[in-house]
Amino acid sequence: MKTDPLITEFPKPEIGKEMKGAEIAIDCLVREGVEVIFAYPGGASQDLHQALAKCDKIRTILPRHEQGGGFAAEGYARTTGKAGVCMATSGPGATNLITAIADAYMDSTPLVAITGQVKQQFIGKSAFQETDIFGMTLPIVKHSYLVLNAEDLPGIIKEAFFLATSGRPGPVLIDIPKDVQQAVIQPVYPAKTEIRSYQPAVTATDGQLEEVIALIARAKRPVLYVGGGIISGDAHHELFEFAERTRIPVTSTLMGVGCFPETNPLSLKWFGMHGTVAGNYAVHESDLLLAFGVRFDDRITGEVTKFAPAATIVHIDIDASEHNKNKVVQYPIVSGIKHALGRMNELMSKAGFEAPDRSPWMQRIEEWKTKYPFSYKESSDGRFILAQEAIRMLFELTKGEAIITTGVGQHQMWAAQFYDFVKPRSFISSLGLGAMGFGYPAALGAKMAQPDREVIDIDGDGSFLMNIQELATARIENIGAKALVLNNQHLGMVVQWEDRFYNSARAHTILGDKENIGGPDNLPGLYPNFVEIAKGFGVSARMVYKKEELKDAMQEMLAHDGPYVLDVIVPYTEHVLPMIPSGKTVAEMIIE
């Protein structure tokens, strides 16, 4: 009997043994290769936790706050490319995940967030700890599910992981009522999943890519503007070959840091509001801008109508909704970036492409790089520690091999400026949402994913304090993530804006004792005492404020086996430069 070629043969589903819905859900996680979950229990998720407690294939990490668990799952995902998984109970447990879900949405991070829900008979009736988490998260998820039948769990969970990790990655929410968790059924596990109208594997045509190659051959001042899509698309090898073959200088977004080695002569590091002068100038003066895996966000473009004004722009991205959303371009191409770069490399090789001589352009770029490097001025007497030199020392002592997470603020920008990144998935930061408190929980997730690499959270005192309770998680779970806290007793980035645009009027930006703060020498004004707090959690810690103490303290931190907090007192008067004020242009960049 002949098989009709038009009929697709799907693998047969597997029928499992009878069990509770909660047990089925956890079994589905195992089938998806989940090894760790960050989960905080409660009444509506208790059955799921009972099932987890009986599962020896998934390690359950108990965060001390659901937001910390969500950020940790993001750190795990950003470091591996796999979906991070977090779980919370209904009501406040679920709402505490919202910031992490929004962060994953903004930064295209694969995340599966599972929430318990009240029994279906109570939904919509303001029951105890009931919130419409499905409705609340609709604008900030790639997709969401409210599971109404236990029979649907295997198919929904398989779909959720497929959606979270395919195409443009993002967060998916699965809300499971308690009666669904408690229902006893015989599950049917689908062998594969297909979603009608969802086709994530989109590729550019050879004709489109040959047009791009022709543009490159004619360009006199080309620049590669690359972003997080290179990393999530696992296309850094293809990018490296493409840049070397075409001899086009590369500048990245903060999400793209590490996708191209920053020590390579073609690298302009990253550009945008606080990025390199060379990167900003090069993009501004380019005649061909190759925008690969990026979204033209406001911190990159400034005044968008004046961004790269003379350039022909090619925008290759897997998400068609990003084309012409912020910046109208001449060549919008929908494609997976790994395919596009790889295929262009093949086409150029086949055609015997040779990069044209662009010596005047490259010489101009080299002059900008030499004249305007990231730099700082040492304190007048040279005794006190600047945040920038602490980060640079960390880079030197770790030889650039550490995974760096950050909170949000000045320290975040300085970390990206003064730590050189040569590998993807080594700079993990909240960039689209800019969520303070991200750094240390994300470091926990990153360390869980990469236990053999040094993982260090470069944080500010304000940001670190927002999720400081996760030191308890680090101690109890024996997760050796470390924190370098650059402590200036202020909300440093907001203070910088106050200094630049509000006549230095302080509007609730001082975190320490207002009566005593006067500088690094004024230690009695320090509040809180991070060393005592860390020790209260059972975590080793040390505080330094003199330059001659810094190297020894940092070596002690790096040598320590386990979590560690190094509290480095720095002045609050430093500003992150260069700086393009919000909504302004390269012409209005503040360089010093």
Catalytic residue among 14, 128, 194, 220: 128
3-state secondary structure of 488: coil
CA angle 482-523-495, nearest 5°?
Answer: 75
Q: Is 66 a catalytic residue?
A: yes
Task: Give the whole-angstrom CA distance, residue 77 versus residue 443.
Answer: 11
**DSSP of 47-111:** HHHHHHHT-SSSEEE--SSHHHHHHHHHHHHHHHSSPEEEEE-STHHHHTTHHHHHHHHHTT--E
Q: Is 554 a catalytic residue?
A: no
Catalytic residue among 106, 273, 344, 493: 493
DSSP classification of residue 590? B
Catalytic residue among 46, 50, 120, 129: 129
Q: Is 186 a catalytic residue?
A: no
Residues 6+ away with beta carbon under 8 Å from 116 = 42, 43, 44, 45, 46, 47, 48, 87, 88, 89, 90, 93, 94, 176, 177, 178, 181
Q: Is 549 a catalytic residue?
A: no
* Tokens representing residue 220 in the block: 């006199």
CB-neighbour burial class of residue 359 (10 A; exposed 0-12, middle 13-18, buried 19+): exposed
Q: Specify the pairing of strand 184-185 against strand 19-20.
A: antiparallel
Catalytic residue among 158, 178, 338, 547: 178
* Tokens representing residue 221 in the block: 């001042």
Task: Give the whole-angstrom CA distance, residue 168 versus residue 160.
Answer: 14
Task: Give the whole-angstrom CA distance, residue 35 versus residue 84.
Answer: 10
Task: Give the whole-angstrom CA distance, residue 140 versus residue 317.
Answer: 20
What phi and psi values does residue 546 have, to the nearest 5 degrees?
Answer: -105, 140
3-state secondary structure of 542: strand
Catalytic residue among 66, 130, 238, 389: 66
Percent helix, strand, coil in the chain, to 5, is 40, 15, 45
Task: Give the whole-angstrom CA distance, residue 25 versus residue 23.
Answer: 5
For the chain, the C-alpha Rg in angstroms (whole number) is 25
Q: Is 178 a catalytic residue?
A: yes
Q: Specify the pairing of strand 250-252 against strand 267-270.
A: parallel
For 216-271, the three-class secondary structure string (H helix, E strand, C coil) is: HHHCCCEEEEECHHHHHCCCHHHHHHHHHHHCCCEEECCCCCCCCCCCCCCEEEEC
Task: Give the whole-angstrom CA distance, residue 538 versus residue 346.
Answer: 55
Active site residues: 66, 128-129, 178, 493
